[in-house]
Amino acid sequence: MNNDTNRGSIRPEQFQKIDRSNYVFERIERKRLTAWQDIRYRLVSNKLAMTGFYIMCVVLLFAIFAPMISPHDHFTNDLPNANQAPSWQHLFGTDDLGRDMFERTWKGAQISLFVGFAAALIDLIIGIIYGGIMGYYGGKVDEAMNRFAEIIYAIPHLLVTILLLVVMEPSLTTIIVAMSITGWINMAWIVRGQIMQLKNQEYALASKALGAGAMRIIFRHLIPNAMGPILVTLTLTVPSAIFTEAFLSFLGLGVQSPVASWGTMINDGVKSMTLYPWRLMFPALFLSLMMFAFNVFGDGLRDAFDPKLKK
Amino acid sequence: MSKPFIEIEGLKKHFDIGNHQILKAVDDISFSIGKGETLGLVGESGCGKSTAGRTIIRLYEPTAGSIKIDGTDVTKVSKSQFKAYRSQMQMVFQDPYASLNPRMTILDIIGEALDIHGLAKSKAERKRRVEELLEIVGLNGEHASRYPHEFSGGQRQRIGITRALAVQPQFMILDEPISALDVSIQAQIINLLIDLQKKMGLTYLFVAHDLSMVKYMSDRVAVMYLGKIVELAKSEDLYANPQHPYTKALLSAIPVPDPDFEAGKERIVLKGDLPSPVNPPSGCPFRTRCPAATERCAAEAPMLRETRPGHIAACHYA
Ligand SMILES: Nc1ncnc2c1ncn2[C@@H]1O[C@H](COP(=O)(O)OP(=O)(O)O)[C@@H](O)[C@H]1O
Ligand code: SF4
Ligand SMILES: [Mg+2]
């Protein structure tokens, strides 16, 4: 019916032969942005995240180099010069024993950052292994391992720390161990979720079909593809560990004098807050700055990895 | 056909999807494939083709049934022995974008196959072997250091084929290897697969979701519906004399490059969607959409039986 009239209106003259002699069926495509380049682009164009990044870099540089070049040291007492206000001689003033606060602030930064990074690293290692196995095997293995994680997670954090301090001396190691006992669980859950999503991807199945074992599939194929959320979690673990250390040190459960961390310095500073505000101000300022910097950078990183999540 | 190379008997794969519900993705299928033969496996999306393929290659544990390769039941061999069978069966996946790890170079993607089976003694040999394999499928060996995203869909599918070939398999499951590709590239991949089969004497299970794709590839064709095989015959016979109403519907959907025939052709349009494999219809699984369904179809499940010489179908009225 209709078809016939349509067909009648198409005439041979309307057709033109296309020369396909130079036609390339498939050629290698122009280099597209890799996923990483794409992420970097989104991160660099996020001003707040980059502000955080630069603050982190500056504080890190000062923490490393300032104590090296400063003429003072952080533990020698100099009682005649106790509690001095900031001056050219002592940029951040001195504390009740006359120790240079500039020097101590950056020494404290070293301790705080070390705790932050060490805790994050331990979380990362345990979390990846535990979460990777949970997520990959699933089923009963997952259920049992998850139950164990939930039990540990349910124990109050502070209680674990205080109990541990009964057995171990208050020290840097004790604090890091205390934080790691519960800290890895969050990372393990993040990794588990990622692995569960990724394990049925065809590239993982292809590897399994070739005869790859679970460990090869988890660590060669799945973890590298879950790096985004893992990095984000890592970045957000650092400030929370720094804060926990500061909090414990503030309570007197942390590092012991003469070693200083931001937490112990704040503890000292609070006592004489009204008379010598700089003793509180500088460690508190840098602690807050670092928390802010890590958190906005971590958020920026998350948005860069998954732009759909952006609020 | 001589002694079959692949024999599948009563294969079932049921997924426990929670809430005490069982999804029967593959429900009692049997077929065999001779050495060097291609069996087409056709059916709508969601009818269980990929699950069947993945269960045969033991990516999923079968719920029941046996999978024999050259006479050995691979569901019975121990884990350590099974590795040897791994290299006999390989799979080419549907999605050329998802089937290559984006974080690995082509050298490592294909090299992994050699690593697992200890097929390369040194780094240099591994590289040389990968380059050789790439040349076999028509890719430039120098591109081995690149990442998957630098290749087009057709090239990626060639890489997927190379990875499967690397372990020198005898049987390949091709899970819709061309359905994600441009039409202009589909023919190239099909020709490559046919070439490889001739050169290496490969046996294929070729999965597709419509009958037009399998026509040029398959010696015999099995039609699947809701986890079951509803018809199986030699290709020419299936196209010339379809027995099952479902096969007839699938065939009528293929456009024919002849306007006069196309205009006069009766097109059977299937009503409704594929029923859920969690609650399949009673009796004949196809009865909810079958234009010829009767009361008997709801009461009694049709068995697969020979309706023509060498041609089996599961319909009471075929
Ligand atoms: N891992 C799984 N768990 C639960 N259900 C699945 C799983 N894989 C596939 N299915 C279900 O099995 C049925 C068949 O799927 P599939 O084999 O992928 O079909 P096809 O390849 O023919 O499109 C679908 O209903 C699908 O939802
Ligand atoms: S048995 Fe009945 S419902 Fe099933 S295909 Fe045949 S006619 Fe249709
Ligand atoms: Mg499929």
ipTM of this predicted complex?
Answer: 0.92
Residues of B with CB under 8 A from a CB of A: 54, 57, 59, 83, 86-87, 89-91, 93-95, 98-104, 109, 112-113, 116-117, 143, 147, 149-152, 154-155, 160, 163, 167, 184-185, 188, 259, 263
CB-ligand 1 contact for B207 (6 Å cutoff): no
Nearest to A212 among B99, B116, B150 (CB): B116
Task: Please report whether residue A20 resides in a domain.
Answer: no
Which residues, in sequence order, are CB contacts of A218 under 8 Å at separation 6+?
A: A132, A133, A136, A195
- Bridge partners of B6, per DSSP, are B33, B69
Task: Please report whether residue A8 resides in a domain.
Answer: no
3-state SS, A98-153, equals CCEHHHHHHHHHHHHHHHHHHHHHHHHHHHHHHHHHHHHHCHHHHHHHHHHHHHHH
Task: Please report whether residue A11 resides in a domain.
Answer: no
Which tens digits make up the pLDDT trace of A30-60?
A: 455 666 788 888 889 999 999 999 999 999 9
User: Whose Cα sits closest to atom 6 in ligand 2?
Assistant: B315
**Gap between the Cα atoms of B123 and B8, Å rounded:** 39
Task: Please report whether residue A299 resides in a domain.
Answer: yes
What pLDDT does A80 receive?
74
Task: Please report whether residue B187 resides in a domain.
Answer: yes
Do B116 and A7 make contact, defined as CB atoms within 8 angstroms? no
Inter-chain contacts counted by CB atoms under 8 A, chains A and B: 84
Task: Please report whether residue B138 resides in a domain.
Answer: no
What pLDDT does A311 receive?
43
| Inter-residue contact B178 to A19 (CB < 8 Å) | no
Task: Please report whether residue A16 resides in a domain.
Answer: no
Do A209 and B188 make contact, defined as CB atoms within 8 angstroms? no
Which CATH number goes with the domain that contains A212? 1.10.3720.10
How many other C-beta atoms lie within 10 A of the C-beta of residue A237? 26
Which CATH number goes with the domain that contains B48? 3.40.50.300
Q: Is any Cβ of chain B less than 8 angstroms from the Cβ of A31?
A: yes
- Bridge partners of B228, per DSSP, are B225
Least confident among A10-19, B19-28, B45-54, B114-123:
A10-19
- In this prediction, residue A309 has a pLDDT band, given cuts at 50, 70 and 90, of low
Which tens digits make up the pLDDT trace of B105-138?
A: 999 999 999 999 999 999 999 999 999 999 999 9
User: Whose Cα sits closest to atom 5 in ligand 2?
Assistant: B315
What pLDDT does A21 receive?
62
Average pLDDT over residues A162-176: 83
The owner of tokens 């923490």 is A63
Task: Please report whether residue A225 resides in a domain.
Answer: yes
Task: Please report whether residue A241 resides in a domain.
Answer: yes
Three-state secondary-structure class, residue A71 = coil
Least confident among A8-22, A80-94, A177-191:
A8-22
Nearest 10 degrees: CA dihedral of A98, A100, A106, A109? 10
Instruction: Select from B284, B94, B128, B124 the least CA-distant residue to B207.
Output: B94
HSE at residue A5, side-chain half, CA atoms within 13 A, is: 2
What pLDDT does A7 receive?
53
User: Chain A partners of B103 at a C-beta cutoff of 8 Å?
Assistant: 224-225
What pLDDT does B44 receive?
92
For residue B31, the enclosing domain spans 4-88+169-241
Q: How far is B285 from chain A (nearest CA, A)?
A: 28
Task: Please report whether residue A192 resides in a domain.
Answer: yes
Average pLDDT over residues A116-144: 95
**Is residue A267 predicted with pLDDT exceeding 60?**
yes
**Domains: count for chain A:** 1
- Residue B25 belongs to what H/E stretch? strand B22-34
The model carries a pTM of 0.84
Quickly list H helices, chain B.
Answer: 49-56, 79-86, 106-116, 123-136, 153-165, 183-200, 211-214, 235-240, 245-252, 259-264, 295-299
Task: Please report whether residue B205 resides in a domain.
Answer: yes
CB-ligand 1 contact for B53 (6 Å cutoff): no
| Inter-residue contact B12 to B4 (CB < 8 Å) | no
What pLDDT does A1 receive?
44
Task: Please report whether residue B294 resides in a domain.
Answer: no
**Domains: count for chain B:** 1
User: Whose Cα sits closest to atom 1 in ligand 2?
Assistant: B315
To probe the interface with A, which of B103, B145, B155 has the most A CB atoms within 10 Å?
Answer: B103
User: Whose Cα sits closest to atom 3 in ligand 2?
Assistant: B287
Q: Can you state the percent helix, strand and coil of chain B, rounding each to 5?
A: 35, 25, 40
Nearest 10 degrees: CA dihedral of A143, A147, A148, A150? 140
Task: Please report whether residue B235 resides in a domain.
Answer: yes
- Which atom from ligand 1 is nearest to the alpha carbon of B53? 17
Do A203 and B101 make contact, defined as CB atoms within 8 angstroms? yes
Which tens digits make up the pLDDT trace of A191-246?
A: 999 999 999 999 999 999 999 999 999 999 999 999 889 999 999 899 988 888 88
For residue A56, the enclosing domain spans 35-309
- Which atom from ligand 2 is nearest to the alpha carbon of B291? 8
